[in-house]
Amino acid sequence: MNLVETQSEASIPVRPLRADALAAWLELQPETVQRWIASTGFKADAGTTCLVPGGDGAAREVLLGMGDASGAMWDFADLPRALPAHAFHMEGELSTEQANNAALGWALGTYRFDHLKKKDDKSRAVLAWPSACDRRRVESAARATFLVRDLINAPASDMGPADLADSARATAESHGGTVQIIVGDELLQQGFPAIHAVGRAASPERAPRLVDVTWGEPSNPKVTLVGKGVCFDSGGLDLKSPAHMKLMKKDMGGGAHVLGVARMIMDAKLPIRLRVLVPAVENSVSDSALRPLDVVPTRKGTTIEIGNTDAEGRVILADALTEASSDTPELLIDMATLTGAARIALGAELPALFSNDDETAEALLAHGERESDPLWRMPLFKPYRKFIDGKVADLTNSADSPLGGSITAALFLQEFVGPDISWVHIDVMAWNTRSRPGRPEGGEAMGMRAVYALIEERFS
């Protein structure tokens, strides 16, 4: 994260400046500094920087533009890349919120998934922890984000169902949690036929499994997280094209997200009984693969007609959500890279939120705004429910019409959620298609901090 404990004597200050405060600051500066700022064209636009030289020609301070805001997190995120290899510290009186934004923005700006490349020994800029910062909170959010990104960025050859399960085990056990993992044909014996059906075509070492993490006192309020864990999605017999298959190592992004949320919850020791369920499979092609129009039984007893083998995520989530509902949690949240339709509607950078609970949905949207982690609510439009009726089974996993695809997928999942449970479904891209400050191209945690903030507020 390139954040250091103490400020060195040679540390260079970074001064956040709103655009409307730049003129007043300039009036107090020597004429040479005024000319320098004018020559650089620095206007204090959000996220822009200007190195101000001293009389000896060395950098005296760094101006960081805040635009018309007081310091959004992403305004700080380009600093590790933009600044030279030196020690820096934040200048001025920062509130805890501003200090947290500065530290977390900086931390996320240092992320690189480069351990598979030749070693890079290049020195990098470091920042002293801002004094008002809630260090534990920032470190937890940064490390959870790095966990999510690392899991998604890992090649599918290194991140199969067993590897995802191992990561869940390591995360849980490092915080005193317990893990149960049901593997292969044991899924049939213990009543998870849909998870088994999707994953059975994979090789034995990549056999399907259900990861079940529990943490916290049993008497505490129950919160359950469910994450889609398709570690690679070929599309099955309805094979994807090369262009659509290329990024399918990210199809376990929902599983990665709920592990990130879980880590933040356990770091903070929130007073809840946490359960995390991740059905981990590989959607492969072999002689045992699901065929179009096969009918799959589920843990609930509802049967699913396979209209498309490439709509496998909702099938494995059916079993996981049924199990999640079995102990009636006070809050149930699932996260999944579920539909291209959500991306058509909202683009790659804005996750779609569905919920049967207006109060929870509104609170989650508000937390998304505060955490610079936005979501957008989509409707559970009941008239579309008829589109997922099966012809020879109770449901189909693929409606005949592609229109409203994210809505019909959410309505499908709702069939497996207990009727009196407050439930949220978040359809995420889990991938940055372009690089932005603090958000390099590749795997990304989207909605994770918002979900954590909701749980923290509701159950602390």
Residues acting as catalytic residues? 240, 314
**Cβ 227 vs Cβ 254: under 8 Å:** yes
Q: What is the 3-state secondary structure (H, E, C) of 289-334?
A: CCCCCCEECCCCCCCEECCCCCCCHHHHHHHHHHHHHCCCCCEEEE
**Cβ 329 vs Cβ 421: under 8 Å:** yes
The span from the CA of 451 to the CA of 457, in Å, is 10
The span from the CA of 71 to the CA of 366, in Å, is 18
Q: What are phi and psi of 210, to 5 degrees?
A: -115, 120
In 158-313, DSSP assigns E strands to 178-183, 209-215, 222-227, 229-233, 273-283, 295-296, 304-305
Whole-number Cα distances in Å, 169 to 15, 259, 269: 43, 10, 18
Token pair of 291 as six digits: 């065929």
Token pair of 262 as six digits: 């879980």
- Cβ neighbours of residue 31 closer than 8 Å, sequence gap 6 or more: none
Q: Cβ of 341: how many Cβ atoms within 10 Å?
A: 19
- Candidates 129, 64, 141; CA nearest to 103 is 129
Q: Which residues pair with 432 in a beta bridge?
A: 442
**Cβ 185 vs Cβ 288: under 8 Å:** no
Torsion of CA 229, 235, 236, 237, to 10 degrees: 170
- Candidates 80, 100, 99, 83; CA nearest to 91 is 99
The span from the CA of 19 to the CA of 292, in Å, is 59
The span from the CA of 181 to the CA of 178, in Å, is 10
**Cβ 266 vs Cβ 225: under 8 Å:** no
Q: Cβ of 411: how many Cβ atoms within 10 Å?
A: 23
